[in-house]
Structure 1
Amino acid sequence: MARWQPDAPGRLADAALDLFEEHGYEDTTVIEIAERAGLTKSTFFRYFPDKREVLFGRGTVTGLLVEGIASAPPGAGPLDTVADALDALGRTFFTDDRREFSGRRQAVLNAHTELREREALKRIDLTASMIEALERRGVPSLTARVAAQLGALVWEIAYDQWLDPDNSEGFGPLARQALAAVRAAEAEC
């Protein structure tokens, strides 16, 4: 593969996932990932600080959620604002063409404690970023925290359903269904 080809981070992520599946996470080196992608070790480190991070998208999901919150309609309530951001995430990131890669990625994460721990930390960061984005919209801190925590729950439920090989529905509609279930549960309490 020629080094000048575009999307070095994507190529590195694809190569890493293939190698993690073939040889295991622990037995794969950064050099092997870079070589498989047709790149150099220094190019790898230009994009990722270590091999754990290659599967975590360099904050892409967080950035898209924050943008989605910022661009939600001005009159939207906090939870509807988060729902609009999740819809946008489904249209731009969790698309049908990424479903297979995401499922493979999740299987690798599930098989390694270190990667599951990193994923948990990323989800905490994601929730904190949603709180900050809601507060920038003028949502009071406690309300922003509750909406972001519920949004993270909705995201997790929708993501798990979206990864299910028997599911053909998009991420956005699944997030809306999960949000409806959260609201129904709240109404029953």
Structure 2
Amino acid sequence: MKKTILFLLLVTTSFIFSQEKEEKYPQDIDKKYEVKLNVLNLIGFEFLDASYEYLINEESSFGIGALVSFNNDRDIDEYRTFSLTPYYRRYFSNRYARGFFVEGFGMLHSYKNNNYDYYYDSYGNYYDYSNQESVTQFAVGISVGGKFVSKKGFTTEVYFGVGRNLGGDNTSLEAVGRGGISFGYRF
């Protein structure tokens, strides 16, 4: 009798555990789109940096980000005033499009370059004049980061990357940075 009860418990237990399904979260079911706002750029640099991402599958996505500068009165010689950044991401997690990722990006960006002319007059007074020009370039680069998604579909991501401008002359920027802390929503 003890062997029969033990056998029935073993069969019942194995049947119960074999029917256990992988837990699905609402943010993983039929939700392929995300909109995000980079709050680090908004607060720290006065850039409006928003992006849209389409989730291809559980391991990859592509998106596009747009950045516009609010402050044109900076004392920095070179800074970004506008950028359009398409990207492709590959996620390395067993959960749907979240966790650690590597991103390849292209960036069409504009910035202002100050060219200074220096001279001394006949009295020994020093003068500098700034000739500001707008420069547009295209860069390619790579980023790494992590994405976290709540059960309600709210997203947070932290990422950092660097890219190199293609072409240009010796007065232009050689490298560009990409990074931030973004909050968004998956729908």
TM-score normalised by structure 1 residue count? 0.27
More helix per residue: 1 or 2? 1
What is the TM-score of this pair, normalised by structure 2?
0.28
**Between Structure 1 and Structure 2, whose CA radius of gyration is higher?**
2
